[in-house]
Amino acid sequence: MIQLTKVNKVYEVADGDFYGTSGSGKSTLMHIIGLLDRPTSGKVIISGQDTAKLSDAEISTLRGNYIGFVFQQFNLIQRLTTLENVLLPTQYSKERLDFATLDYARELLAKFGISEKAGSYPNKLSGGQQQRVAIARALVMKPDIVLADEPTGNLDTATGEEILKLLGKLNRELGVTVVVVTHDQYVAKKTDRQIFVRDGTIVKKY
Amino acid sequence: MNYFIFLIRTALKDFGRSKVRTGLTSLGILIGVFSVVMLISLGIGLRNYITRQFEDLGTNLIIILPGSGFSQGFGAGLAGGAEFDERDTNALRKIGALEYVVPVFMKASDVVAGKEEEFAYVMGTSDDFFSLYNLENEAGEFFTRGDMQGRSKKVVLGKSLAEKLFGTYENAVGRDIRVQNQKYEVIGVSENVGDEQLDNAVLMPYRTTFGSLNPGKTFFAIYVGVADEDGVTEAKELVEKEFLKRYEEDDFEVSEQEELLATINQIIGVVNAVLIAIGSISLVVGGIGIMNIMYANVTERTKEIGIKRAIGATKRDILLQFLTESVLLSLLGGVVGLVLAAIVVLLVQPYFPLGLDALAVVLALGISSGIGIFFGVFPARRAANLTPIEAIRYE
C-alpha cells in the first residue's frame, strides 16, 4: 500500500529549462510514486515506511520489489535478449526470491504471446512486442504496482489498444495495481479510476 | 557468486559490442605489462648469466686483486695498488688450507700465425688454472707442471682464437704463433666457455712470460682455491694476514666469490629497478586510457544506468558494474601482455638465460587489476551518483 501525504515538488528552474511545460506534473507525480524522485516536502509512505528516511540502497530495493515501470520508449536494454531483459530486475534483487525466476519469466512471455522471441534482441521486435517485453520485465519481481508512463505513446492505435487490454487483464488476473499516466482522454477512459492533474495539482478525481 | 558471474557476463557483453575499442583500450596496459615483465625477466636473465659464469669457477674460490678491489667499483681493482709476484704465491703455498694457488698475468696483445694477425689476451698462469676453471681440452693437451718449471714456450689457445688464426681448431695443434716477435708452439686448444677473454686467450706458463712480455715478473691477480668449501671465510682471513705482512691494507683486496657475486647482483638489481620504474610509466599511460574510455562509456550509457536504477539497481550495483568492466579491460591487457612476454622469454632462452618468476606473474596481474580499480573508480562513481530520474531522461 502506497500513501502520499501533502506531496509537493518545487523545481529550481533554470533559463529555458521548464519542466512540465508539456505536462502538468503527472510524470513527476509518477516518478515520486515510483521512488525515482523525492518530493520537496510531504511524505511517500510505502507499507507504513516513510521513504524519506531510507538510504539509496533501501529505496532501490523497495523500487525493485514493489514497483514495476513501463515507459513510453519501452527502455529495453539493446544488448540483452528479450529473456535477459525480463530477468534483469531479478539480478539486482538483494533477497533470494521464493520463486523460480526463469520459469516465471518464460511464463510471462508465453502469456503475452512472445515466447518465440525469447532469444531475440529488442531491435528485431516490433513496438508492440517491445512494450510487451517491457511489461513482462515490470512484472517479473511480482510488484504491487505497475507504473506506466504513456505506455501507448509510441504505438499505433490498434497496438496501443492491445497493450491497454493487456494491462487491464493483469489488473484483474494478477491483482496488480496499474497506474497509467497519459494525456490521452481515450486512454484514460479505459481505466477504472481517473485523476486529473493540472498545473501541478490534482484537480479532479473520478 | 551468481551476482559476481552476472557482473562479469554483463561486462563481457559490453566488450562484445565494441571489440575494436576494447582491444585498443587494453593495448595500453598490454604494452605496459609486456615491457615491465620483459625488464624483470631481463634482470633475472642477467643474474642467471653472471651466476652461471661464476659457478664455472666454483664457490670455493678466493680472488686477490690489487687496490681496493670490487667493493669500490669495477675500475678501482684494475688501477694502482700492489703488484704481486712469486714471493706472494710462495708464501700462500705454505698455507695448508689452500688447494690451488694460481697466479694470473694478463696482457692484451696481437698474435701472429703465418699471415693471420689477431687481437688476443695473453695470460700467464699455472697448470692448476685448467682445473680451477674446469676447462676441457678440445684438441692437443694442456701444459704441465714440468712445462712450468722449464719455462717452455708451449701455449694453449682458446677455441675462438684458434679458429680465427688457423681456420679450424684441430689445425692449430703443433703449429707456431708469434707474440711480440717471440715464437711459441701451440700444444692444445681449450673449449669455449662463453667468456670473451678466455675464448680468445693465449695461455702459457707464467714463468714463460717473464722477460719481454712481463719484465716486472708481476701478476695481475692471484686465484686461490680452498679445499673445503666451509673453510672459505677462514682461509680468506689467513690470506689477508699473510698479505698484511708485506702490503698496506689498501693495496690489495681479498674477495670471496660469493661476495663478488653479491656485489654484482646488487648493481644489477639497482639498474633493473630503475628500468622497471621507467617501464611502469607506460602502465600509467595505459591506465589513463582506460579511465578516458570508461568516462565515455558512462556518458554513452547514461540512459541504460537510469533504466537499471528504475528496475531496482542500487548505486553499488552500478559502481560494481563499471568497476568490473575497467578491471576486466585492464586484466585482459595484463594477461595477454604476460603471455606475449612468456613467449618471447621462451624464444630467447636458447641464446640468453632470460627467466620469469612467480613474482613477475603476480606483479603483472596484481598491477593490472590495481590499475583497473584505481583508474576505473572515478568513472564508476560518476555513473553510480547519477540521479535515476535525470539518467532515464537522458537521450
Q: How far is B21 from chain A (nearest CA, A)?
A: 16
- Note whether A61 contacts B: Cβ–Cβ < 8 A: yes
CA distance linking residue B64 with residue B238, whole number of Å: 12
User: What is residue A13's predicted lDDT score, i.e. its pLDDT?
Assistant: 36
How confident is the model at residue A6, as a pLDDT? 60
B392 chain-A contacts, CB cut-off 8 A:
36, 71, 75
- This prediction has a pTM of 0.70
Q: What confidence score (pLDDT) does residue A20 get? A: 34
Q: Nearest C-alpha of chain A: how many angstroms from B306?
A: 9
| A94 touches B315 (CB < 8 A) | no
- Tell me, yes or no, if B57 comes closer than 8 A to chain A by beta carbon: no
A18 touches chain B (CB under 8 A): no
**Distance to chain B for A67, nearest Cα, Å:** 8
- A4 versus B218: the higher-pLDDT residue is B218
Residues of B in contact with A65 (CB under 8 A): 312
CA distance B297 to B264: 49
Residue bearing cell 692444445: B188
Which pLDDT belongs to residue B334?
A: 93
- The ipTM is 0.86
B187 closest CA partner among B129, B134, B147, B145: B147
Residues of chain A found within 8 Å of residue B308, distances taken between Cβ atoms = 77, 88, 92
Distance, CA of B227 to chain centre: 29
Q: pLDDT of A57-76, one tens digit each?
A: 888 988 888 889 999 889 99
Cell 647482483 belongs to residue: B265
Cα–Cα dist B363/B367, whole Å: 6
For A13, which DSSP code? P
Closest CB to A64: pick one of B6, B312, B392.
B312
Residue of A19, A31, A77 to mutate for B, most B C-beta atoms under 10 A: A77
DSSP H or E segment with residue B182 = strand B182-190
DSSP labels, A151-170: TTTTS-HHHHHHHHHHHHHH
Q: Which residue has the cell 540502497?
A: A57
Nearest by CB: A36 against B315, B317, B388: B388
Nearest-angstrom CA–CA distance, A39 and A36? 10
Return the DSSP state at B186.
E
Helices and strands, counts by H and E, chain A: 7, 8
Cβ-count burial B297-336 (b if 16+ within 10 Å, e if not): bbeebbbbbbbbbbbbbbbebbbbbbbbbbbbbbbbbbbb
The Cα of A31 is separated from the nearest Cα of chain B by a number of Å equal to: 8
How far lies B313's CA from each of A34, A100, B14, B308, in Å? 14, 20, 18, 5
**Percentage, residues of chain A above pLDDT 90:** 23
CA atoms within 13 A on the CB side of B8: 8
Cell 687496490 belongs to residue: B67
More confident residue, B71 or A168: A168
Out of A31, A60, A71, name the one closest to residue B312 (CB): A60
Model confidence at A19, pLDDT cuts 50, 70, 90, reads very low
Query: Which range (A10-14, A105-109, B261-265) has the least confidence?
Result: A10-14
Q: What is the DSSP letter of A123?
A: G
* Cα gap B151→B204, rounded to integer Å: 9
Residues 6+ apart with CB under 8 A from A121: A78, A79, A80, A81, A82
Assess contact for B240 and B255: CB atoms under 8 A: no
Which band of pLDDT confidence, cut at 50, 70 and 90, is reported for residue A205?
low
C-alpha cell at B191: 673449449
Ranges under pLDDT 50 in chain B: 69-78
Contact A79 B389 (CB under 8 A): no
The verdict on B240 touching A (C-beta cutoff 8 Å) is no
Grid-cell match 570508461, residue found: B294
Short-list B217, B240, B253, B242, CA closest to B71: B253
Cell readout for B181 is 716477435
**Cβ distance B189 to B157 under 8 Å?**
yes
Shortest distance between the Cα of B300 and any Cα of chain A, in A, equals 13
B227 is written with which cell numbers? 679445499
Point out the residue among A36, A93, A94 whose CB comes nearest to the CB of B310.
Answer: A36
Alpha helices in chain A (DSSP H): 26-33, 56-66, 82-91, 101-111, 127-139, 157-174, 185-189
Whether residue B345 contacts residue B41, with contact meaning beta carbons closer than 8 Å, is answered with yes
Q: Does residue B303 sit at the A interface (CB-CB below 8 Å)?
A: yes
Which among A145, A177, A194, A169 is positioned nearest to A26, based on CA atoms?
A: A194
- On chain B, the residues whose CB falls within 8 A of the CB of A27 are none
Q: Where does the pLDDT of residue A154 fall: very low under 50, low under 70, confident under 90, or very high at 90 and above?
A: confident
Distance from CA of B32 to the nearest CA of A (A): 31
A91 with B315: Cβ contact below 8 A: no
CA distance B313 to chain A (A): 5
- Residues 133-152 on B with a CB inside 8 Å of A are none
Quote the pLDDT of residue B319.
95
Which DSSP category does A201 fall into? E
Q: Nearest chain B Cα to A67, which residue?
A: B311
Give how far Cα A33 sits from Cα of A145, B3, B178, B182, B335, Å. 10, 28, 105, 108, 48
- Å between A82 CA and nearest CA of chain B: 15
Which secondary-structure segment (H or E) carries A2?
strand A2-8
Residue to substitute from A92, A93, A101, A133, interface B, most B β-carbons within 10 A: A92
pLDDT at position A21 over 80? no
Q: In chain A, what residues touch B304 (CB-CB under 8 Å)?
A: 77
Tell me which of A3 and A177 has the higher pLDDT. Answer: A177
pLDDT of res. B58? 67
Of B6, B13, B309, the CB nearest to A79: B13
